[in-house]
Structure 1
Amino acid sequence: MKRFVEGVSRDQASFLPECLDDFIGADNPVRVVDVFVDALDLRDLGFERVDPRSTGRPSYHPAVLLKLYIYGYLNRVQSSRRLEREAGRNVEVMWLLGRLVPDHKTIADFRRDNGPEIRKVCSRFVELCRRIGLLAEASVAIDGSKFKAVNNRDRNFTKAKMARRTKQIEESVERYLHQLDSADRQEPTEAVRSRVVRLHEKIDKLQAEMQRLKALEVEMMASPDEQVSLTDPDARSMATSGRGSGVVGYNVQAAVDTTHHLIVAHDVIQSGSDRSSLTPMAELAKQAFKVDKIDVVADRGYFSSEQIKACADVGVTPTLPKPVTTGMKAKGIFGKHDFRYLDGQDIYICPANQTLSFISHKRETGGLNLRRYGATACKACAMKARCTTATQRVVTRWEHEHLLDDVQRRLDNNPLAMRIRRETVEHPFGTIKARMGATHFLMKRLKNVKTETALSVLAYNLTRVMNILGTGPLIHAIRA
C-alpha cells in the first residue's frame, strides 16, 4: 500500500530529550561563524561592553550580536527586525546565540555604534586568509560597482534635475492659467466655479513647490559637487552602464585576488567615477598582502596618467587599457597611436615615415609637463589630408609617458588580462547584490554604508573560503 512519509506528532514526548547541538551538523557554516568570532580579541578591536558593568541592567556581549549579524549577512537577512524574528524561531540562530533573543533596537544600535570595529573584523578575516596561504600571489583585479542608497531618485537634486523640474512646474502653471482664462469666458455655473477653485489650488501648490525648489537650489549650489539628497545626505546621483540610466547611491570599490577570488580590500566612495581610485585601492591591497610590490589589473575607467605615475611611485604595476577620448579615428584622421616614438633619438615617426622632432615645451592646466613634436615636411606630404588640417601636425608627449607605454606593452603581452579582470572581480559584486536581494543599503550616511559593505564582504569571503577549504579545515585553521 502506497503512503506518504510521515512526521512526528507535535504532542509526542521524547524519552531522551534532544539538545540544540544535535540539530547542527558538523559541516554547518554556523559553526565557522561561532569559532571565528570566539577567536577574536574584541577588546583589542575596540568593541565596547566587552566587560560587564557592575551596575544597571545586564547587556548583551558584543560577540553575541556580531555572530548574529555575520549569520544574517550570510543568509540574506540584514534587517534588525528580521534578525530579531530569526533569533526566536531559527534553530541555527538559537544554537549560535544560546537561545538569546535581542530586540531589534539593540541589534540595530550595535551595527550603528560599532562601524569601525566591524570593519576591523572584516580585515582580520583577510589576515587569516593570508596566514593560511590563500593570498600567496600578490595580484588583484580592481573594479567598482554602483549600489543603490535608501534615497529615492526623486529626492535627489542636481542642476539638470532642478532645471528640468522647474521647467515642468512653469509649463503646468502656464497651462492652468490658460484654463482659468477659458473658464472666465464661460457662463458662470456651479461646475465652472468649482473648477476655478481647483485650478487655483493647483497653482498655489505649484508655486509653493517652486519656492521649495529655490531654497533647495541654494543648498545644492553650496555643495562641493552641486547636488543634494534629502533622505540620505551622503548619497550621490551616479551614471550606470545602461544608456541614460542612473542610480542615487554609492560607488563600492573592491580589490579581488586573481587566484582564489577573495576580496582583499574594499572601500565606498561618493564619486561615480573610478578614475581617482586606482592607487588608493592598490595600496589597500598591498597592505592586505603585506608586500612591497603588487600587480593590478583594472578596466579603462581607472585610466589616469597621474594615477599610473602614483602607482609606479609606490610599487604598483598596473595593467589597463587606455580609453579613446579623441574623435580623430571617427573622422578618418591619424591618431597619436599611429605615430611611433623612438626613445633613444627622442623623435616620432609619422605614418608617412617622416620625422617629428622636439619643438617646444607645454604645461597643461592640470600641471602635466608636455613636450611638443612637429614635422617640417607636412606641407608637401601626400597623406596630409588624413593627418591634419593645420600647417603642421604636432604630437605631444608627457614627461612620464614611458610609464603609459609600459602599461600598453603589458596589455599587449597579456591579451587575456581584461578577461581575467572580468571573471575575477565582477562575480563578487553579483554575489553581494544577490544576497542584498537586489535592493538597497538599509542605513543612511557614508560611515554606516561602509559598515554594511564590510559585513557583506565578510560574508562573501567566509562563503568563498568554506567552498575552497571546507568548514572543517577552516575551523581547524581558525583555532590553530
Structure 2
Amino acid sequence: MKYITGKDRKQTSLFPISLEDSIDADNSVRAIDQFVDQLDLKELGFRLDHIENGPPAYHPSILLKLYIYGYMNRVRSSRQLEKECRRNIEVMWLLESLAPDHNTISNFRKDNAKAIKKVFFATVQIARNFGLIGATLVAGDSTKLRAQNSKKNNFNQKKIQRHLDYIDHKLEQYNRALEQSESDDEKEEIKKDIDTHQGRRKQYQQLEKELNESGETQISTSDPDSKHLIIRNNITEVAYCVQTTVDAAHNIPFDYLVTNENDSKAMGQMLQRAKSILGTNTFTALYDKGYHTGSEFKTANQLGIETLVAIPGIGRASQAPDPGYNSENFIYNKQQDTYTCPQGNTLKSNGSTYKGRNYRFKQYKTNKCKNCPVRDLCTTSKINGKVIQRSEFQQYIEDNAQRILKNPTAYKKRQAIVEHPYGTIKRQWGFNYITTKKTKQRASADVGLMFIAYNLKRIWNILKRPSTAHFELYIATIRLMDSIISAIALFLEQNTKKQLQLMY
C-alpha cells in the first residue's frame, strides 16, 4: 500500500529560502505587522527614550506585535511567548527573528496599561472608519474574570476574627498543656507551637489593621485590588469585574473598564464614556436588571441617553399577600403627591423625607387601612397598615418601565449583542481569568490586549465576508493590508493627542 512520504530531515531545502516566502500573503500576521507599524507609539504613551549605556532595548513595536499575535492565538503567558519566538515561524517573521526573554515580555505588559488602552481605541477608530459601528444601539454588561488571588488569601473582618478566635483557643490549650507537662522535651515542643501561633496571630492583627485603615470591607493579600465577588447564583470568586459597552451593528466592543465592584453603580459612568467616545447621545443603551438603580437612571437622563434596563422582580419582603395589591398597582398623582390604592383610598405623605441606603424617600399611608375589608390581602403589617415608599428617583424608574413596555422587542437584542465578545474571549479562547498579578492597572492591560485581539480579528473577519459590502474593498486592497494602513492613517489624522488620552 502506498503512503504519502515526508522529506529527508537532512536535506538543506526543508524550508523556503526566506522567512518572507514562508508566510502567505493573506496571513493575519501580516495585518498585525502593518497595524502596529502605522501607530505612533510615542504619541500613544509607549516609552521610546531608553538610556544608551548598557544593552540595547527592544522597540515597543516588537513586543506589542508579539502580544497581539499571542492573544489572537490564545497564548498569554510570557514564558510561552518566549518559546514561540524560537519555534513559531510566524512569530519569527513578525519579530524579524528577535527573541526577547520572558521578563522583558512580562514587564512590557505590566508597564504599559494606559498605552495599551489607547491601542484598543485605535482598533475602535478603524472599525468606525469602515462603518462597522452604527452608534444607534449599544448594549452594556459586565463579566467576572478570576484574579490571581485564592479565596484563602482574601479576608474580611469576620474571617479575620474567626482566625484570631481559633488561635486564641489553641493558645489556651497549649498553655494548659505547658502547665501540666513534666518533660523538658515536651515543654520545648509546646513552646514552639505557642511561638508559631503567636506569630500567626500578629499576622492576622496586621491584616486587621490594614483592613481598617483602607476603609474597605475586604482585603486580598496576593492581588490587593481584587475582590470576593458573586460570579453567578451562589458561586463566588476573588475576581475583577470588567464593564463593557458593545455596538449592535457588528458586536464590536468600543469601551471597557476594569473594576472590583458590582453593576449597580456602573451604568452612569459607562454611558458618560460611551457618549464621549461616540461623540453623540442619540443612541439607545440596553442593560440587564443588575443595573436597575435610580441614581443611574437620573445620570442617563441628564446625559440625554435613552436606556432600556430590565425590571427586577419585587423582593419577597415587599410582596403583598395578593400580587394585585403590590405597590405598582397603586396610582400616583403627581400634582397632589398622593397614591390611590385599588380600593380607592388615598395614601398621603407627611412631607418628610427619609434616608435610605443610597437615596432619600417619602412614605405614604392612610388610616383607612384599619377598617379596610381587604387588609389581609394588601399587607402583613399589624400596626401601620400599608406603607408605600417613593424614592427620589422614582420618576426615572417609572419612565424606564414605560420605555420597556413601548419597545418589547428592543431589549431582547441585548444578550445577543453584548454576550458575543464574552463568548469568544471566555469560552472559545479560554480567557476566563486575569493572568497578571497585583493592581487593577495591570489587570486592565491584560483585558485591553484581549479586546484588541478580539476587535482586530472581528474586523478582519467581517471585511473578508463575500456577502458584505466591504468585500470589493477587501479584494482591491491586497487582502486587507492597504485598507488597514489607510484606516490607521485616517485615525491618526483625525484624532488629536487629547482625543487619544480620552478614556483610561
Specify if TM > 0.5: yes
Equivalent AA in structure 2 for residue 274 of structure 1: D
C-alpha distance in 2 between matches for 1:44 and 1:73: 23
Q: Where does residue 411 of structure 1 map in the other structure?
A: 404
C-alpha distance in 2 between matches for 1:322 and 1:174: 54
C-alpha distance in 1 between matches for 2:435 and 2:306: 34
Give ranges in structure 1 of 5+ residues lacking alignment: none
C-alpha distance in 1 between matches for 2:410 and 2:173: 58
Deviations 1:136-192 (A, max 9, x none): 1332221122222222222222112212222333444456567778x85xxx8xxx8
Q: Where does residue 47 of structure 1 map in the other structure?
A: 46
- Three-state SS of the structure 2 residue aligned to 1:116 is helix
Structure 1 residues 196 and 138: CA distance shift in structure 2, 3 A: farther
Structure 1 residues 228 and 370: CA distance shift in structure 2, 3 A: closer
Q: Where does residue 112 of structure 1 map in the other structure?
A: 110
Contact 2:78 / 2:106 at 8 angstroms: preserved in 1? yes
Contact 1:372 / 1:395 at 8 angstroms: preserved in 2? yes
Q: Where does residue 270 of structure 1 map in the other structure?
A: 260
Deviation larger for 245-254 or 164-173? 164-173
Q: Where does residue 477 of structure 1 map in the other structure?
A: 483
Deviations 1:260-301 (A, max 9, x none): 211111001122x21111111112222232213332211222
Note if 1:315 corresponds to 2:304: yes
TM-score, normalised on structure 1?
A: 0.88
Deviations 1:217-271 (A, max 9, x none): 111111121432222222222232241x322232111111223211111001122
Contact 1:135 / 1:289 at 8 angstroms: preserved in 2? no
Equivalent AA in structure 2 for residue 461 of structure 1: N
- CA displacement at 1:373 relative to structure 2: 3.5
C-alpha distance in 1 between matches for 2:153 and 2:113: 26
Contact 2:434 / 2:447 at 8 angstroms: preserved in 1? no
- Three-state SS of the structure 1 residue aligned to 2:372 is coil
Note if 1:13 corresponds to 2:2: no
Q: Where does residue 26 of structure 1 map in the other structure?
A: 25
Structure 1 residues 440 and 4: CA distance shift in structure 2, 3 A: farther
- Three-state SS of the structure 2 residue aligned to 1:263 is strand
Equivalent AA in structure 2 for residue 237 of structure 1: H
C-alpha distance in 2 between matches for 1:9 and 1:44: 50
- CA displacement at 1:29 relative to structure 2: 1.8
Contact 1:140 / 1:285 at 8 angstroms: preserved in 2? no
Equivalent AA in structure 2 for residue 253 of structure 1: Q
- Three-state SS of the structure 2 residue aligned to 1:377 is helix
TM-score, normalised on structure 2?
A: 0.84
C-alpha distance in 2 between matches for 1:20 and 1:100: 13
Q: Where does residue 440 of structure 1 map in the other structure?
A: 434
Note if 1:452 corresponds to 2:431: no
Structure 1 residues 175 and 257: CA distance shift in structure 2, 3 A: farther
Note if 1:4 corresponds to 2:3: yes
Q: Where does residue 463 of structure 1 map in the other structure?
A: 457
* Structure 1 vs Structure 2 CA RMSD: 2.9
Equivalent AA in structure 1 for residue 195 of structure 2: D
Deviation larger for 213-222 or 196-205? 196-205
Structure 1 residues 433 and 15: CA distance shift in structure 2, 3 A: closer
Structure 1 residues 355 and 100: CA distance shift in structure 2, 3 A: same
Structure 1 residues 28 and 213: CA distance shift in structure 2, 3 A: same
Contact 2:77 / 2:435 at 8 angstroms: preserved in 1? no
Q: Where does residue 73 of structure 2 map in the other structure?
A: 75
Q: Where does residue 318 of structure 2 map in the other structure?
A: 328
Deviations 1:9-50 (A, max 9, x none): 12123399532233222332212211111121222212221x
The count of aligned residue pairs is 469
- CA displacement at 1:463 relative to structure 2: 2.0
- CA displacement at 1:421 relative to structure 2: 2.4
- CA displacement at 1:371 relative to structure 2: 4.4
- Three-state SS of the structure 1 residue aligned to 2:353 is strand
Deviation larger for 342-351 or 61-70? 342-351
- Which of 213, 237, 248 is the equivalent residue of 2:238? 248
C-alpha distance in 1 between matches for 2:189 and 2:412: 61
- Three-state SS of the structure 2 residue aligned to 1:12 is coil
Give ranges in structure 2 of 5+ residues lacking alignment: 466-473, 487-504
Q: Where does residue 63 of structure 1 map in the other structure?
A: 61
- Three-state SS of the structure 1 residue aligned to 2:318 is coil
Contact 1:159 / 1:227 at 8 angstroms: preserved in 2? yes
Deviations 1:109-150 (A, max 9, x none): 222222211110011111111121111133222112222222
- Three-state SS of the structure 2 residue aligned to 1:255 is strand
Contact 1:361 / 1:369 at 8 angstroms: preserved in 2? no
Structure 1 residues 420 and 8: CA distance shift in structure 2, 3 A: same
